[in-house]
Amino acid sequence: EAGVAQSPRYKIIEKRQSVAFWCNPISGHATLYWYQQILGQGPKLLIQFQNNGVVDDSQLPKDRFSAERLKGVDSTLKIQPAKLEDSAVYLCASSVLRGDTGELFFGEGSRLTVL
Amino acid sequence: GNSVTQMEGPVTLSEEAFLTINCTYTATGYPSLFWYVQYPGEGLQLLLKATKADDKGSNKGFEATYRKETTSFHLEKGSVQVSDSAVYFCALSYGGSQGNLIFGKGTKLSVKP
């Protein structure tokens, strides 16, 4: 079974520039998550989708971050304009919805460096 | 609100030493509990889980028991190896539509030969 795919793996941009990350979840997983992991910290949820609807985006900085999940499959996370403090690894994860125990499957992450 | 607290690292052990990484949680109801591991240069992966009180999760020689009375889920291994060097994250989740994971800050383990 293919895992969660993310791209790009690495991105370096200057502050005030924009960047987009892409995620393709495991086939059949209804729920998709974007997490932000700053160096030395645990991952923090940015947004959770169930199919193509947003379940929780309470911690998403909506003035600069946006995310969409068209057709309930893959998803894109965008940052515009980027700030220095956005330097982090952006993790995408997916899970089954019904009857699951909360286990999430993670991609390898997209590492963003903002200069 | 829901939260996870785990012991701060880094933890440095010699090979074959006993490992304990403490984890306690604050949550309403009955979450599932997890340990995820992040090896150098790799993504997060599930190490073990427990879905109800008194359950013991185990994998690769690691164990953790879901203790509702002490709201704890401590990770243990009887004899660590150099290959266990990684960052370990304790996490909780309610599954389903509330299934997002809430993570602790992580504990870095270094095992020396």
For B44-95, write each residue's pLDDT tens digit.
Answer: 999 999 988 999 999 999 999 999 999 999 999 999 999 999 999 999 987 6
What is the DSSP pairing of strand B19-21 with strand A65-68?
unpaired
Judged by CB atoms closer than 8 Å, whether chains meet at A101 and B106 is answered as no
pLDDT at B111: 97
pLDDT at A71: 84
What is the DSSP pairing of strand B32-38 with strand B86-93?
antiparallel
% of chain A at pLDDT higher than 90: 71
How does the average pLDDT of chain A come out, rounded?
91
Assess whether pLDDT exceeds 80 at residue A97. no
Judged by CB atoms closer than 8 Å, whether chains meet at A101 and B49 is answered as yes
Mean pLDDT for A10-38 is 95
Q: Chain B 74-93, CB below 8 Å of chain A: which residues?
A: 89, 91-93
Of A27, A47, A58, A28, the closest CA to residue A90 belongs to A47
If one counts every other C-beta atom within 10 angstroms of the C-beta of residue B91, the result is 27
For testing contact with chain B, the best of A45, A98, A106 (most B CBs within 10 A):
A106
Q: How far apart are CA A45 and CA A54, in angstroms?
A: 13
If one counts every other C-beta atom within 10 angstroms of the C-beta of residue B79, the result is 11
* B88 in Cβ contact with B75 (< 8 Å): yes
Q: How far apart are CA B33 and CA B94, in angstroms?
A: 9
* B7 in Cβ contact with B106 (< 8 Å): no
Mean pLDDT for A82-96 is 94
pLDDT at B99: 67
Mean pLDDT for A37-57 is 90
Assess whether pLDDT exceeds 70 at residue A39. yes
pLDDT at B1: 82
pLDDT at A87: 98
CA distance B78 to chain A (A): 25
Of B6, B1, B15, B4, the closest CA to residue B110 belongs to B15
Mean pLDDT for B104-108 is 95
